Amino acid sequence: MIPEPDVVSVRVTTEIDVAEARQEARKLALRHGFGTVRAHGLATAVSELAMNLVLHSARGGLIRLTVQDAPEAAVIELVSEDDGPGIPDLGLAMEDGYSTRGGLGCGLPGTRRLVDAFAITSCVGAGTRIVCLVRRP
Amino acid sequence: MTEPMHGVGQILLQNQAHVLDAWLARLHDTAPSAQPASLQLLKLELGTLVEKLTAFFLTGEGEGDALKSVEAQAAAISAACARDGLTPMETATLILSLKAIAGDLLNRESGRGTNELDRRRAALDAVVDKLALVTFASFVETREEIIRRQGRALLDLATPALPIWRHIILMPLVGIIDTQRARQVMEWLLEALAREEAHIAILDVTGVPLIDSRVALHLTKTVEAARLLGSQVIVTGISPDAAQTLVKLDVDLSSMITRGTLRAGLAEAFRLLGQNAKGPTETML
Ligand SMILES: Nc1ncnc2c1ncn2[C@@H]1O[C@H](COP(=O)(O)OP(=O)(O)OP(=O)(O)O)[C@@H](O)[C@H]1O
Ligand SMILES: [Mg+2]
């Protein structure tokens, strides 16, 4: 029997939504037996992606977290999706220190290091979609 | 065009007391959460509204100062309702109930089934509907103003800069650091540094739930600005979880002095002040 997935989604348009999204993420991780370091890492990844939605996508976007939980292992899928301007050069955006808005430019590359799997697709004029996986143990 | 309005105005004028009484009699049903203490004031306000409404109909003009005056009064009532904790639903119901009350009155005074009645009721309904909209907008505006004020009050509360020793100030940060908070932290810290003639500021982030690249950016900017004033900033209270995450994010915190605990931060502050500070040794803390 496959257990029902635990799903949380947050519409992100302002900074308050970012705070809510990462709180939800942390609670979700702790609820499914992830350690505090992993929960903190996931919350930070959510914070980075959500803040990017606020800063770089005019109309914000959606953060969705889905947990597949089994006794021996669990995985949280984090999806960030928007219909914003898209990213013209993904290679550049994934570089440490690259920012178009005066940030530190470590949001995307940092997030990739925080999670177990990371995939980004972006289409100029149509939007950006990022999928991350965080595993337990 | 002026006749239906003028007719309504005449009828209202002769029945102002009745309209007000009928309105107040319904208060209990329309606005059950109104507090007894605020009822007295509400009665006065509603009385004024009935008067202004009457005056408006008597002018016979659809637009103009008389209408503005009625709308202003409705907005004032609505704002009072918002502050007294009435729901928007109650506030709108309260205003809209005037339709039924004054409508009954028009029925009685105009004689049933006449065209005259229809036109008068239409004139009345149009105005009351408009007032309900004004009320709603004003209600939302008042609530938002309250929220903004509470937000500002919270901001002020959340960011004290404490002169804890000669030349040392401490700023404990508690809660979420968003752009607005970050800006304020920087401003207040710099102000306090100048005011207290402090050489060192300790920014304690024990109460900050998460440090992402944005918060790191704000911290870095604050440290740089303080340096321009000739002061140093020590950041304390980064949790072990946060430290591991910051390493992965690879944010560059090398420009700032960081210490795990406030205690270690204080010790570092005294060390930096050196002989100038006749401060205690660490065992005295
Ligand atoms: N959802 C998005 N839509 C459009 N562009 C984006 C999006 N996310 C990131 N970008 C682009 O990629 C760049 C790099 O993003 P990254 O998060 O690494 O840095 P940053 O947001 O600029 O700064 P930091 O995250 O360090 O505060 C951004 O400056 C922006 O140009
Ligand atoms: Mg970013």
Q: Is a pLDDT exceeding 60 seen at residue A67?
A: yes
CATH topology of domain B162-282: Transcription Regulator spoIIAA (3.30.750)
Counting from 1 in the atom list of ligand 1, the atom nearest the Cα of A102 is 22
How far apart CA A104 and CA B226 sit, in angstroms, is 19
Lowest pLDDT segment from A38-52, A74-88, B29-43, B221-235: B29-43
Ligand nearest to the CA of A109: 1
**Residue A18 and residue A54 in contact, taking contact as beta carbons nearer than 8 Å:** yes
The verdict on ipTM greater than 0.90 is yes
In this predicted structure, the answer to whether residue B284 has a pLDDT above a threshold of 50 is: no
Chain A: give the shortest CA distance to residue B174, in Å.
14
Closest CA to B269 of B171, B160, B130, B169: B169
Identify the CATH assignment for B3-153 out of 3.40.50, 1.10.490, 1.10.357, 1.10.1760: 1.10.490
Asked whether A100 lines ligand 1 (CB < 6 A), one says yes
Domain ranges for chain B: 3-153, 162-282
* A103 close to ligand 1 (CB < 6 Angstrom): yes
pLDDT of res. B242:
93
The whole-angstrom separation of Cα B105 and Cα B1 is: 21
Q: What mean pLDDT do residues B250-276 have? A: 89
% of residues, chain A, pLDDT over 90: 90
Between CA B30 and CA B81 the distance in angstroms is 12
Q: What is the pLDDT of residue B89?
A: 86
Total length of chain A: 137
User: Does residue B285 surpass a pLDDT of 80?
Assistant: no
Amino acid, res. A90 = L
Which of B77-86, B190-199, B251-260, B271-280 is least confident? B271-280
Q: B270 C-alpha vs ligand 2 centroid, how far in Å? A: 37
Residue (of A75, A36, A63) closest to B210 by Cα position = A36
Residue to mutate (ligand 1; options A22, A49, A87; most atoms within 8 A of CB): A87
Cross-chain residue pair B250–A107, CB shorter than 8 Å: no
* pLDDT, tens digit, 9 for 90 and up, residues A91-116: 999 999 999 999 999 999 999 999 99
Give the nearest chain B residue to A40 (CA atoms).
B241
Residue A88 CA to ligand 1 center (angstroms) comes to 11
Distance A48 CA to ligand 2 centre (A): 5
CB-CB under 8 Å, A48 with B251: no
Q: Which of B212, B220, B244 sits opposite A47 (nearest CB)?
A: B212
Lowest mean pLDDT among A17-21, A128-132, B25-29, B137-141: B25-29
CA of A58 to the centre of ligand 2 (A): 14
**The model's pTM:** 0.74
The verdict on A106 touching B (C-beta cutoff 8 Å) is yes
pLDDT digits over B45-76, tens only? 999 999 999 999 998 887 888 899 999 999 99
Residue B214 has pLDDT above 60, yes or no: yes
Contact B212 A36 (CB under 8 A): no
Pick from B217, B240, B245: CB nearest A104: B217
Chain A residues closer than 8 Å to B245 by CB: 37, 40-41, 44, 114
Q: Is the CB of A57 under 6 A from ligand 1?
A: yes
Ligand 1, residues A47, A99, A113, A130: which to mutate, most atoms within 8 A of Cβ?
Answer: A99
> 3-state DSSP call for residue A113?
helix
> Is the Cβ of A43 closer than 8 Å to some Cβ of chain B?
yes
Look at residue A3 in the predicted model and tell me its pLDDT. 66
Q: The tokens of A81 are what?
A: 């999706």
Does ligand 1 have an atom closer than 6 angstroms to the CB of A127? no
Residue B275 has pLDDT above 60, yes or no: no
Ligand 1 lined by A82 (C-beta under 6 Å):
yes
Is the pLDDT at B1 greater than 70? The verdict is no
Segment B93-122 mean pLDDT = 85
* pLDDT per position as a tens digit, B127-166: 999 999 998 888 888 888 888 888 777 776 667 889 999 9
In Å, how far is A115's CA from the nearest CA of chain B? Answer: 10
pLDDT at B37 over 80: no
Q: Is the CB of A53 under 6 A from ligand 1?
A: yes
- B238 Cα to chain A: minimum distance (Å): 13
The residue-averaged pLDDT of B118-123 equals 88
Where along chain A do its domains lie? 6-135
What's the B16 CA to ligand 1 centre distance in angstroms?
64
Question: In CATH, which superfamily holds the domain spanning A6-135?
Answer: Histidine kinase-like ATPase, C-terminal domain (3.30.565.10)
DSSP secondary structure of B106-154? HHHHH-TT-HHHHHHHHHHHHHHHHHHHHHHHHHHHHHHHHHHHHHHHH
Residue having the nearest C-alpha atom to atom 6 of ligand 1: A56
pLDDT per position as a tens digit, A20-59: 999 999 999 999 999 999 999 999 999 999 999 999 998 9
B185 versus B85: which is more confidently predicted? B185
In angstroms, the CA A126 to CA A128 distance is: 7
H-only helix segments in chain A: 15-31, 36-56, 90-93, 107-114
pLDDT band at B33 (very low <50, low <70, confident <90, very high): confident
Under the banding of pLDDT at 50, 70 and 90, the label for residue B219 is very high
* pLDDT score, position A1: 58
CA of A36 to the centre of ligand 1 (A): 26
- Angle, vertex CA B36, rays to CA B33 and CA B38, nearest 5: 90
How far is A87 from B130, CA to CA, in rounded Å? 47
